[in-house]
Amino acid sequence: MDYQSWLEGVDGLASLYSFDILPDGSFSEIRLMGVNKQNEGMLHFRPDTPEFYPGIPYRNYWMDLNFESFLYRSGSERKSLYSYVNARGYWLKGFYIPIANPDEAPAENGTKTVYCLYILEYADDLETESLLQHSADVADAVTNLSIKLHEVQDFYQAMAAAAAEIQSVCSAELCSIYPVNMITQKCAFINRDGVQDKALENLAAEMQCTPFEVAMRWENILAMSDCLLLEDLDIIKERDPVWYSSLCKHQIRNIVLYEIRFKQTLVGFIWAANYDSSKMMQIKKILELSSFLLAAVIRNHHLVSQLELKSTIDGLTQLFNRNSMNERVDKLVSDTADKPKEMGVVLADLNGLKTVNDDEGHDAGDKLLMRAAALLKLAFGDYEIYRAGGDEFFIFCPDVSEEELAQQVKQLRTLADSTPDVSFAVGAVHVTGEYDIRQAMHTADGRMYRDKQEYYMTHPEKDRRRQKRTDSE
């Protein structure tokens, strides 16, 4: 059979595979018999791939257990199969078609060789009509999951409801959703009962890494596949012995591990354990169609969180910004029930910033601000530090004694004195009882101003304002 000329007549990304059905009913490894010119990219996916020849083991180029399962099923059952999946940010249509080879006679030992044509189409966006080609059971499950995701506004409640729905679909003993933020490298462990911080901590400890590194380990375990639906843990034992030991410790017999991607960006995983493996194909179809729903919700949560962060955090110093400080002041003024019984207020003004900006440029000034912020975190790391303006920082110290506040201020001055370029003018005030936080801030400002005057009297070369007056005279 002339595989190559035959494949060139197929429109689309086409490849032909074969495998043997052995006398005991088991299957041999899958062999790649040929690809058409449109699909030659799969032969050069990695720079270390061997030279192609008809019959080369498929795993020399790729390893996707789910793809292999479809091929085995299509070829052995002589049944055409169709899949429509969201994989690594693309929507993939896969057509699996069993092919007869009239030139090949059955082997005398009972081994039977079968062939399967695979045609792939892909697109960036979802095609709604393609979803309709799935069974009613699959469509209903995806619809139910979509409803669960949007019944409540709270992100974590929605994820918990989705985890419960997926656990039911998989008939699994355990199920969780593991959101991953690739920018902040933060993760969460959410099951039907909500956020499980302790479970996240234990999982990372047992895998001997951080929660984000757990996600990266799972990404490696998938080995370029979008998911693993395993009837046993042999693949895990081979790919990650440490995780395998952890799973065995918790009496895990089989797992589902499905990545969630928004376009090409990893945003999480679906994880289920001790599931009903007889429902494997149905589970795979449901998760394939559901993952993009989860991806959209997780991605939106990341965007909202990022916007909320930007509205409260100063981008340069990573301290709270003025907007956040104003909200805190308003709350202290209006919510007297929760107002601390005593409060320390510190205003630290960075000396000499304008001189650095004018003489060395704003990049040097930004670096000075970041070093100043680092010292403030060292001295007041347990309290609320706000960048109120260009070179002004307010620190609120709830429930601090007057002696403790004085010690914190002294520590800040000591730290600044140990650096060659960071110097603060500091004003501090301690208040108790029925105090007015705005008045306390005003008092701290006055004391800071007097401290700054003393600084410029001893360092006149730093007072750019005085220099400008002198120059104009």
CATH homologous superfamily of 3-127 equals PAS domain (3.30.450.20)
Burial of 170 (0-12, 13-18, 19+ CB in 10 A): buried
pLDDT at residue 172 tops 50? yes
Residues of the chain with CATH 3.30.450.40: 134-310
Nearest to 261 by CA among 138, 92, 47: 92
CATH class of 322-472: alpha beta
Q: Is the pTM of this model over 0.75?
A: no
What integer pLDDT is reported at residue 363 of this predicted model? 92
Contact 256, 227 (CB under 8 A): yes
What integer pLDDT is reported at residue 126 of this predicted model? 61
pLDDT at residue 1 tops 70? no
Task: Kindly indicate whether the domain formed by 134-310 is annotated with CATH number 3.30.70.1350.
Answer: no
Question: Among the ranges 59-68, 182-191, 226-235, which has the highest mean pLDDT value?
Answer: 182-191
Phi and psi at residue 218, to the nearest 5°: -60, -40
Among the ranges given (106-120, 240-254, 343-357, 394-408), the one the predictor scored with the smallest mean pLDDT? 106-120
The overall average pLDDT reported for the chain is 87
Residues of the chain with CATH 3.30.450.20: 3-127
Torsion angle, alpha carbons of 35, 36, 42, 44, to 10: 100
Residues of the chain with CATH 3.30.70.270: 322-472
What integer pLDDT is reported at residue 49 of this predicted model? 80
Over residues 26-42, the pLDDT tens digits come to 999 999 999 999 888 87
End-to-end CA, the chain: 98
Over residues 98-144, the pLDDT tens digits come to 998 766 666 667 889 999 999 998 776 666 555 556 677 887 888 78
Over residues 288-308, the pLDDT tens digits come to 878 878 988 998 888 778 767
* pLDDT confidence band for 86 (50 / 70 / 90): low
What span, in angstroms and rounded, lies between the C-alpha atoms of 59 and 17? 12
What integer pLDDT is reported at residue 321 of this predicted model? 93
